[in-house]
Amino acid sequence: MPLVAHLKELRDRLVKSLIVVFVVFLGLYFLAGDLYMILARPLEILLPEGGQLIATGVASPFFVPLKLTIVLAIFISVPYLLHQIWGFIAPALYKHERKVAIPLFISSVLLFYAGVAFVYFVVLPLVFGFFTSVGPEDINLMPDIGNVLDFCLKLFFAFGLAFEIPIATFLMVRAGIVTTEALASKRPYIFVSCFVVGMLVTPPDVVSQSILAVPMWLLFELGLVFSRLIPKKSIEEAAEAE
């Protein structure tokens, strides 16, 4: 296909993706308030007596749920968005590359969703429980709804990306950038790096940092296991055959 045809196809797929995101957004918009309360539920049930969620901005009651609805619309549309990306790049791949790419696409989506679910059901209750228990007794805790949303989204994306570590490890090994033996020999450095990343992207407490760092390290080990399942030689042979 000529370059113009590729650009036209890319434009059509972008338009389709935007339409799907917009349709999902419209379906969620009327539930925006309820969706926010579901998001804030792990914090709301841990607030001490007299504590409550507040809005410090005049427009916050409107824009905060709206922001959450937009993010959720994109989040729910991810499978379709990846399908459009796959439809655009698949014709340029060899047969053996498509066999590897399809499981990687599916597993990357599932791992990202797993990371978000892990945050909501495990991380948020622990983190909120820590912060609501360490404050002075004479201070009423009244979190701002905008700050709560930004905090949750930060954790969602941090853990969602962290759960992609097995995919990244697999791709680096398969591409020949690094070997499984070299990665395995650097386990101590990677373990420390996981805690450094946890320190940078989570609240400044040991519990939150460990909740991110330990799964990151375990996911790295999982990526090494997957990388050893398919010998590199077989992939090279398949490429040469095609």
| Average pLDDT across the chain, whole number | 82
Q: What is the mean pLDDT of residues 50-73?
A: 87
Q: What is the mean pLDDT of residues 118-126?
A: 87
Quickly state the pLDDT bin for 205 (edges 50, 70, 90). low
94 has pLDDT over 80: no
Q: What is the mean pLDDT of residues 37-54?
A: 82
Residue that the structure tokens 């330990």 belong to: 214
pLDDT at 50: 67
Quickly state the pLDDT bin for 168 (edges 50, 70, 90). confident
Q: Are 146 and 115 in contact (CB under 8 A)?
A: no
38-52, 138-152, 167-181, 198-212: least confidently modelled range: 198-212
Burial category of 67 from C-beta neighbours within 10 Å (exposed 0-12, middle 13-18, buried 19 and up):
middle
**What string of DSSP letters covers 36-84?**
HHHHHHHHHTTPPTT---B--SSSHHHHHHHHHHHHHHHHHTHHHHHHH
pLDDT at 24: 95
- Higher per-residue confidence, 202 vs 41: 41
Quickly state the pLDDT bin for 216 (edges 50, 70, 90). confident
Q: What is the mean pLDDT of residues 50-64?
A: 84
What gap in Å lies between CA 21 and CA 71, rounded to an integer? 10
238 has pLDDT over 60: no
pLDDT at 17: 93
37-51, 69-83, 198-212: least confidently modelled range: 198-212
Quickly state the pLDDT bin for 194 (edges 50, 70, 90). confident
Q: What is the Cα gyration radius of the chain?
A: 22
What gap in Å lies between CA 161 and CA 174, rounded to an integer? 20
